Each structure stands twice: as C-alpha cells, then as structure tokens.
Chain A
Amino acid sequence: MTKARLTSIGLGVAAAALALLAAFVITSLVLLAAGDPVGDVWGQLLAWPEMRNWANIINNASVLYLSALAVAVGFRMNLFNIGVDGQYRVAAFTAAVVAGEAWLPGYLNTALAIVCAMAVGAIWAGIAGLLRAARGVSEVISTIMLNFIATGLVAYLLRQVSVREEGSNEIGTREIPEGSRIGGIPFGDYEIYGFIVIAAIAGFAFWFVLNRTRFGFDLRATGRSTTAAVASGIDVRRMTVAALMISGAIAGLVGLPILFGDSYTYGSTFQSGLGFAGIAIALLGRNNPIGIAFGAVLFAYLDEQSNPLQILVGVSPDIVAITQGVIVLTVVISYELVRRYGVRLEQREVARVLASSRTDKPKEVSA
C-alpha cells in the first residue's frame, strides 16, 4: 500500500470521526437547550442493544440500504433522484398485488413479483429521465412531483383491490400466500429478513457495474463533466435515462424486504418516507456501497432508540430526528474540510517533489 493511499484512508477516517464528534457536541447543546437530561439520553443512545433490537436494526438497515443505493446511482451521475420515495411505493404496491394474486406457484410467484416491482420502479423513474433527456426538465422537480402522483395513484388503486379484515379499519392488498414468502435467516432467538441477501447482491452489483464496466465508467464520466463525456463520445441523453431507470429499479426493491418478510400485504400503514432517509444515508456513505452500509446501520440504530428514549428516559423522540439531521450536515461539512486539507497536503507534497527535483537537476530545469 502506497503512502498516498494510506493518507487518503487516514483522512477518510478522520473526517468520519470529526463528523460524529461534532454531531455529539451539537446534539448535546440541543438537549441542554431543551432542558433534557443529557447524560441519560446518551446513556440510552449508546447502550448496547439487545439481540431483539439488533434484529430490528439489521432489518431496518437492509431496507434503508437499498433506498440509499438507489439514490447513490443518481448521485454518481450528478442526478438527484428525490423520487425514490414514490418509486418504491408504486413498486411495492405492484409487487404486493402480483404476489397476492399468485398467478404462479411458490417462488416463481416471488420472482415474478420482484421483477415486476423493479420494472415499475424503473418506468416510474424513467418518466423523469425521459423528461430530462427530451425536454431538459430538472429531475429534482419531476421526481418530487411524481411522488405526489404516486401517492394518489396507489391510494386509488389500493381502494380498488383492497380487502378488509372483519372489525379492522385497515385496508390492504390480499396477503401473499405462504409458499411465496421469503423466510427469515436465524439470528440468535430471532430472525432477520432473508431479503438481506438480495440487498447485499445489489450492493455488490452496484460496485461492480460502476467500477468495473464500460457503462459504469461512462456514467461516472458524465457525472464529473458532461462536456468531457460528450467529447469522448458518450450519449449523455441515453445515459440520463439509463441512470434514472437503474436508480428506479433499485428503488423498486426497497419495500420488498418488508413485504416478503414481515407484512405480506401492502396497506395503509406500510412504512413510508424511506426514500428521503435514503438521500441522507447516500450522503453519509459517500455513494460508496460499503459506506452506505455503515450509514444505514447507523440510521437504523438511531431509529431503534426512539422508543426507549421516550418511554425509559422520557424525552421527545424528535431528538433522534435531530441527531440524524445533524450527523448528515456534519458529515458533509467535515468531508469538505478534510478534502480541502487533503488538497493542500497534496499541493505541498507536489511542491516539495518539484523543489527537490529542481535542486537535484538544476541544469535540466533551467535548460
């Protein structure tokens, strides 16, 4: 390992440590200002969770991980897909209907539902891609508007197909038959979503496609500089549509761990807002599949502390949301600070090398 590589890893670790330290200080100040017991809050936040809670954290993290991956694909090409939220809800609903109808037996049914979810997610995001490519509409605007349309559309369709249990005020799609559910992986006395395997595969595919294929290179190049991409013969419009469709296809997977591993139906209490959490986590993880995994676990960990904070410590769970927001901001700021410091280090290093080469071979330079 070269010295430069070591320096860059060191700087990365320093940035993360700096961010968490700053977040710790700022959150403590918020707690002090609100008159909450600072010591008790940190005592609870930093207490080692029980196995049951770890199972919840891992489950939640696998869902958040997929969401952040979907956002990160867009970020890598300088596209801001705010629409993951709408994409995953349309897709999860589609998967729930397809799997609930059970046109195919067993796991064929599951596979069909997953493919349908990815396709619907891709199409939903693809609308924004086409608008951007053909008409120059900012994907920020179109995807957020598509979120609203997704909400209305799914609510309408849900009422058309919903079944309602006797005595319940909840509506949902037909339950997925037992043979098509994805079983859990044993975890102590508890189980975690089997779908986590698919999340891991998605993470690996993300890394492989972006870093080891021509397509990934084109995508990253377009993200760095559109003009340079055009100059090197990349069809930027095609790349825009493709990147958003891939982002949407991954978004299509977001709700599925819950659907196939826990709820077995899409109803009015299906978890929402996952797409927005994904944006924050993609930022935390620097659009890197490993970094995103850490970010997802951190967010899921904080979410899990929300109930004990309220019930055992007696503070508002909003503290958790504030802490998450502060972490995102401090991470972005500290990475920027550390990046600038790194650039300065590099400049000094280059200057030193140049200066020494000048003293070594003064004649060549002056010649």
Chain B
Amino acid sequence: MRRTTKFAAVLAAGILALTACGSDSDGDSDAGSDDGNTAAPTSDVKVGMAYDVGGRGDQSFNDSAAAGLDQAKEEGLIAEAQESEAEDGEAESAREERLRTFADAGYDPIIAVGFAYAASVGKVAEEYPDIHFAIIDDSSLADVPNVASLVFAEEQGSFLVGAAAALKTESDHVGFVGGVETPLIQKFEAGYAAGVKAVNPDVKIDVKYLTQVPDFSGFADPAKGKTAAQGMYDNGADIVYHAAGGSGGGVFEAASEAGAKAIGVDSDQYNTADPSVKDVIMTSMLKNVNVAVYEYLKQVSGGTFPSGVTTYDLAVDGVGYSTSGGFIDDITDQLDEYKQQIIDGEITVPDKP
C-alpha cells in the first residue's frame, strides 16, 4: 500500500511540475506593466490581454497578438498593458475569472485571444456592460454591444499558398499538417485543398492532424510535427503546409532533412524560424492578428470602441502570403490573379473540408 502511495506521489508531483514547464512564460507576464523606457504615454488606455494556451512566446498565434499590442504601446496609443495566459484544460470559471480580474482592476478594453474565450466573454461582457471586450477568432458574439469580434478569412490566405504549392510541386504531391483537428484549423485545410485543386486537380494532398481535442498539445509539439511531415516527404510529397503553431518547427526540420519545401503560417516564418531551416520556407500564409489587434487599439485610443464583427480577409490584407526568400517570385503574378478573383467574388473559397 505505501509503495503505491510513494510511486503515486512522485508521479503526481511530476505531472504538476510538467504542467508548470509546459507554459514557458518566464515572467514575461509582467513585462507589460512598466513602460517607462518607451515613448511617453499620451493616452490613459489600460489594456488587459488574455492569451490562449501558450501565451506570449509561442512563436505563433499568441505572439502575433502580442506584436500588435507592443506596436500600439511603442506608438504611445495605450498607457499600460497587463497580460495573462490560459492554462491547458482549465475550467470555464478560470477563463471567466481572468476577464473579471482584469475588469475589476480597471482594465478597459480587455482583449481575449482565441475562440476558447467565446463563452466566457459572452458571460462577463454581460456582467460588466461598461467595459469593452474584443475577441479574436470568434464571431458568435456579434450582437453583444460591448464586444468587438475580430475574425480572419484563413481559407482565403490558405487558398493562395495552396495554389503556390500546386504551381511549384514537381511530384504532383503535397501535404498539410494541422495542429489540432478543430473547425478553425479545418478552415486552413479546406482553403489549401481548394487552392491546390484550382491549379491542378490531379495533385495529391496528404492530410494529417497531430492531436484531437481536448489534447491541444498538437500546437506545441515539434517532434509530432516532424514525424508527420517526414511521413509525407517519404511518401513522395515535396511541399508541406503546416497550420500547427509551435509544432511547425518540426515540419521545417523534416523538410530540411528531406531536401524539400515547406509553407509557414500566421507570420512570415522565413524571418522568425530558426536560421538553419529558413531556406526551406517557400512562403508563409499570413494571418495578421497583429494588424487586427493594433487597429483595434488605434480606434480605442482615438476614443471609439468598435463593436460587431470585423473580418480580416484578402480585400483588407488581413490575410495573405509572404515572398521573403524569393522562392515564389516567378509565380506572384498568377497568385495575385487568384487573389483578385477571390476579392471580386469570382472564386468562393470553401471553409469546410
């Protein structure tokens, strides 16, 4: 009996310690509270940022939102920002309390990064009608007067990199690695597949998701990303697109080892990825969360609190593709043609696979 107990104790403590390691925030969370060395604040806006799992430093979605916040702060649009991040598998009440703690401490507006906050923003926005909220990647709260919904047309950007992949592939075989199989990531897959097929219906597409809900580790597990991409390259694919957050690093490694190409996501990963693998990044699908956050804060500092849904699509350059590295300079004309057709409504990109 006691032996089991000791074993269990070590295991339980180990799991708790691992949980602590999982989110690597290193005190970044207080980085926002002192801004004495940047431009003198010309506004009195206090922003509360509630990140999704991973928080600042995830080299992906959350970081992109953080970049928008940083830009606004450097330009003196906001006086102060405090940040807080979600824990994997936390209770709904924990998300709600995060927002309430911000609201009680006088932060206004409060930006919720990620669709997981949808229910809690809906509830807390009702409790604090005088505080303004913004939520990224969700538009189910379109009718709530003090909530701004910032959403992206990920399928449109993915369509363009899909077209790029189909134009560049030599084996007529490409791949897609998704982080976690959620409706959001399926939008990336659907747009990518549509783009590939628009160029050449005969190109084969391998699709692999790293994990299933509620296991969100697929967004932060480079080893899984590498294994999945390796399988695709071994199978004959020569270009793999990832929408897997931090796991994408593994996809790039696999591409580098296979002497093949990969496509990045969210930010221009040619500039942010590890220098040893940047030459495999043919292009990246840009999802400009930073632009959305920055423009929202700009409006707020100007005295207007937006509400309703703002969609960041190709027409407003909310999504797009990158050309760093010069790998796709020869096909940008064709891609821009597709882009124009999507903007004009001649091509409707599906958002479900």
A residues neighboring B (CB under 8 Å) = 34-36, 52-53, 56, 59-60, 63, 75, 78-80, 82, 89, 151-152, 155-156, 158-159, 164-171, 223-224, 258, 262-263, 268-273, 276, 279-280, 282-283, 303-304, 306-308, 310-312, 314-318, 321-322, 324-326, 328-329, 332, 336
Nearest CB on A from B215, distance (A): 5
Any chain A CB within 8 A of the CB of B204? no
Query: Are B92 and A328 touching (Cβ within 8 A)?
Result: no
Q: How far is the CA of A156 from the CA of B215 in the complex (A)?
A: 13
Residue of A nearest to B149 (CB): A167
Query: Are A318 and B91 touching (Cβ within 8 A)?
Result: no
Query: Are B138 and A169 touching (Cβ within 8 A)?
Result: yes
Q: How far is the CA of A67 from the CA of B105 in the complex (A)?
A: 34
Q: Given A63, A155, A329, which contacts B181 in the complex, CB threshold below 8 Å?
A: A155
Query: Are B102 and A311 touching (Cβ within 8 A)?
Result: yes
Any chain A CB within 8 A of the CB of B214? yes
Any chain A CB within 8 A of the CB of B20? yes
Interface segment among B4-12, B240-248, B269-277, B289-297: the answer is B4-12
Any chain A CB within 8 A of the CB of B29? yes
Q: How far is the CA of A341 from the CA of B297 in the complex (A)?
A: 63
Query: Are A272 and B85 touching (Cβ within 8 A)?
Result: no
Query: Are B87 and A279 touching (Cβ within 8 A)?
Result: no
Contacts of A258 in B (CB 8 A): 91-92
Q: Contacts A165-B140, A169-B137, A271-B91 given: A332-B6 contact, CB under 8 Å?
A: yes
CB-based closest 8 A-B pairs: A314-B30, A155-B212, A272-B89, A167-B139, A325-B16, A169-B115, A268-B213, A168-B140
Q: Contacts A169-B184, A321-B17, A325-B20 given: A283-B1 contact, CB under 8 Å?
A: no
Query: Are B215 and A273 touching (Cβ within 8 A)?
Result: no
Contacts of A78 in B (CB 8 A): 1, 4
Query: Are A263 and B17 touching (Cβ within 8 A)?
Result: no
Secondary structure at chain A's binding surface: helix, strand, loop or mixed? helix
Interface segment among B93-101, B159-167, B257-265: the answer is B93-101
Residue of B nearest to A159 (CB): B181
Any chain A CB within 8 A of the CB of B84? yes
Contacts of A34 in B (CB 8 A): 27
Contacts of B1 in A (CB 8 A): 75, 78, 223-224
Q: Contacts A78-B1, A316-B27 given: A325-B13 contact, CB under 8 Å?
A: yes
Q: Given B9, B27, B141, B215, which contacts A283 in the complex, CB threshold below 8 Å?
A: B9
Query: Are A56 and B29 touching (Cβ within 8 A)?
Result: no
Any chain A CB within 8 A of the CB of B43? no
Query: Are B84 and A307 touching (Cβ within 8 A)?
Result: yes
> Could you list 18 A-B pairs, sorted by A, with CB under 8 Å?
A56-B93, A63-B91, A75-B5, A155-B212, A167-B142, A169-B184, A171-B183, A171-B213, A269-B116, A270-B214, A272-B214, A279-B8, A283-B8, A306-B87, A311-B98, A311-B102, A314-B82, A316-B26
Residues of chain B from 1 to 41 with CB closer than 8 A to chain A in the complex: 1-2, 4-17, 19-21, 23, 25-27, 29-30, 33
Q: How far is the CA of A129 from the CA of B2 in the complex (A)?
A: 21
Query: Are A332 and B5 touching (Cβ within 8 A)?
Result: yes
Q: How far is the CA of A343 from the CA of B22 in the complex (A)?
A: 41
Query: Are B309 and A167 touching (Cβ within 8 A)?
Result: yes
Q: A155-B213, A171-B183, A279-B15 are in contact. List 7 more A-B contacts (CB 8 A).
A: A159-B181, A167-B140, A170-B140, A279-B11, A280-B13, A306-B94, A312-B101
Contacts of B30 in A (CB 8 A): 314-315
Residues of chain B from 74 to 127 with CB closer than 8 A to chain A in the complex: 82-85, 87-94, 97-98, 100-102, 105, 115-116, 118-119
Any chain A CB within 8 A of the CB of B348? no
Q: How far is the CA of A317 from the CA of B14 in the complex (A)?
A: 17
Q: How far is the CA of A304 from the CA of B94 in the complex (A)?
A: 7
Query: Are A170 and B5 touching (Cβ within 8 A)?
Result: no
Query: Are B183 and A271 touching (Cβ within 8 A)?
Result: no
Query: Are B140 and A329 touching (Cβ within 8 A)?
Result: no
Residue of A nearest to B87 (CB): A317
Q: How far is the CA of A79 from the CA of B7 in the complex (A)?
A: 12
Q: How far is the CA of A167 from the CA of B91 in the complex (A)?
A: 23
Query: Are A171 and B212 touching (Cβ within 8 A)?
Result: no
Residue of B nearest to A153 (CB): B212
Residue of A nearest to B82 (CB): A311
Query: Are B101 and A273 touching (Cβ within 8 A)?
Result: no
Q: Contacts A167-B149, A269-B92 given: A279-B27 contact, CB under 8 Å?
A: no
Nearest CB on B from A132, distance (A): 14
Any chain A CB within 8 A of the CB of B171? no
Query: Are B118 and A321 touching (Cβ within 8 A)?
Result: no
Nearest CB on A from B52, distance (A): 10
Contacts of B157 in A (CB 8 A): none
Q: How far is the CA of A279 from the CA of B16 in the complex (A)?
A: 11
Query: Are A283 and B92 touching (Cβ within 8 A)?
Result: no
Q: How far is the CA of A97 from the CA of B15 in the complex (A)?
A: 30
Q: How far is the CA of A213 from the CA of B83 in the complex (A)?
A: 54
Contacts of A312 in B (CB 8 A): 101, 105
Any chain A CB within 8 A of the CB of B323? no
Contacts of A152 in B (CB 8 A): 212
Query: Are B97 and A307 touching (Cβ within 8 A)?
Result: yes
Contacts of B318 in A (CB 8 A): none
Contacts of A263 in B (CB 8 A): 92, 119
Contacts of A56 in B (CB 8 A): 93, 97
Q: How far is the CA of A57 from the CA of B15 in the complex (A)?
A: 22
Query: Are B182 and A171 touching (Cβ within 8 A)?
Result: yes
Residue of A nearest to B32 (CB): A314
Query: Are A280 and B29 touching (Cβ within 8 A)?
Result: no
Residue of A nearest to B31 (CB): A314
Contacts of B26 in A (CB 8 A): 316
Q: Given A155, A170, A303, A325, which contacts B17 in the complex, CB threshold below 8 Å?
A: A325
Q: Given B13, B98, B183, B309, which contacts A169 in the complex, CB threshold below 8 Å?
A: B183
Q: How far is the CA of A33 from the CA of B144 in the complex (A)?
A: 45
Contacts of A53 in B (CB 8 A): 97
Q: How far is the CA of A312 from the CA of B30 in the complex (A)?
A: 9
Query: Are B213 and A158 touching (Cβ within 8 A)?
Result: yes
Contacts of B181 in A (CB 8 A): 155, 159
Q: 1/0 per position for B310-350, CB-CB distance to A under 8 A?
A: 00000000000000000000000000000000000000000
